[in-house]
Amino acid sequence: MSRVMDKEVAYGYLTIVGITLAAASPLPVPVSVHMLIITFAIIWVGSVNSTKKPQEGEDEMEVMQSKDAYMFPIIGSVTLGSLYLVFKYLPKEYVNYVVKAYFFVFGVFVLGAKFSTILASVLPPSTVESLTKQKWSFVVPSFLASKKPEERKDKKPETVVNTPLDLIGYMLSTPVAIWYLTHNHWVASNMFGVAFSIQGIEMISLGSYFNGAVLLGGLFFYDVFWVFGTDVMVTVAKSFDAPIKLLFPQMWEGKPSLLGLGDIVIPGIFIAMMLRFDIKRGDASRPYFKNVMVSYFLGLATTVGVMYAFKAAQPALLYLVPACLGSTMLTGFLRGELKTLMAYNEEKKEEGEAEDDSKKDK
C-alpha cells in the first residue's frame, strides 16, 4: 500500500484522533456519538486503503474462499466456547497476562505500521525518500507466518521488509504498548483496536458477494444465539482483557460500554468490497459504498438505541447484517444491477482458468 495517505484517509484518521481526544477530555461526549463516529471513520479508512496495491514486502490481500465463509461461524463458536471454559476454570489474571504479552508484541508492529504511514504523509518528501531507501528483509518465524511456504505463490518463507521509517513507527508505538500493559488505559487499548480493525478491513477480501452474504448470514445467527441464548459472549467479552474491543467511557458510570472488533471488521470487509465493486464498474459516485456506509451507521445507531432502551447487551450483527445486505441488494435492484452484484467475484483464478475466460469473452 502507498505510504502516503490521500485526503480521504487523512480526514478519517483526524476524525478518529479528534473524537478520542474529545472523549478523553472533561467534555461530556455521549457514548453513542463516540461509538458512531469512530466506527464510521475506521471503516472508511480501511475501505479506502483496501483499494491500494501492496508495496514491496507487504502481503497481498487475503482472499476468503467459499468454504471459509461457511466454516467461519462454526470455528468462531468453537473458539468462543473454548475461551469461556478457559476463563471459567483457570485464573483469569494469568490468562490475561499471556494474552496481554501477545498483544503487546503484535500491537507494536501493527500500530507502528500505521504510525509510519502517517509520518510518510506529514514529513517532507525528501525526508521520506531518505528514510525508505535502506531496506532490511526478515524471515517470519513459521509459527507466526500467515502462510506456509508451500501455500505461497513463490514457495518461499514469508518475509517482512522494513525501512528506517518503519523502525521509527515501531519506536512510537512501543510507548503506547507499555502504557497499555502497565495502566490498561482505554485510550491505549482503543489505539490498538483501531489499528487492528483498519488492518483487517484493508487486508481481507471476502472473495465474492456470495461469500459475503453467506458469512454475514451465518454470523447473524451466531451473534443472536451467543448473546441472547447464553451468557457466553458477554462473559468472554468482559473477561478477555485485550484490545479485541473498543471501549467507550460513560459520563456518569464507572464501567465503559464496549463494541467488539468483529462488529466493525466483519461488516467493514463487506463494505470495503462494495467500494472495490464501485471502482471496478468505474462509477465515480460510488453508490453501493455510500449507501451501505449510511446503512451501517443507521444499523449501529439502532443497536445503541435498543441497548439503552432495554438496558441489556445487544448482538450488533442482528441489526448490522440486514442493514448491509439489504441496502446493497436494494441498490442493485433499483439500478437494475442485481445480477451483476450477485455475480461479483474477487477470487484469484489460476492462469489456465483466466485464459479460458478470456477466450469465452472473445
Active site residues: 223, 263
Q: How far is 322 from 303, CA to CA, in rounded Å?
A: 12
For 139, the 3-state DSSP assignment is strand
Give the distance from CA 208 to its chain's centroid: 18
Cell of 12: 478519517
Torsion, CA 212, CA 244, CA 195, CA 32, rounded to 10: 80
User: Terminal CA-to-CA distance of the chain, rounded, Å?
Assistant: 33
Closest CA to 204 of 282, 266, 155: 266
In 3D space, the residue among 269, 277, 298 whose CA is nearest the CA of residue 341 turns out to be 277
Task: Please state whether beta strands 257-260 and 245-248 pair in parallel, antiparallel, or not at all (unpaired).
Answer: antiparallel
Question: What DSSP string describes 288-343?
Answer: HHHHHHHHHHHHHHHHHHHHHHHTS---THHHHHHHHHHHHHHHHHHTT-HHHHHT
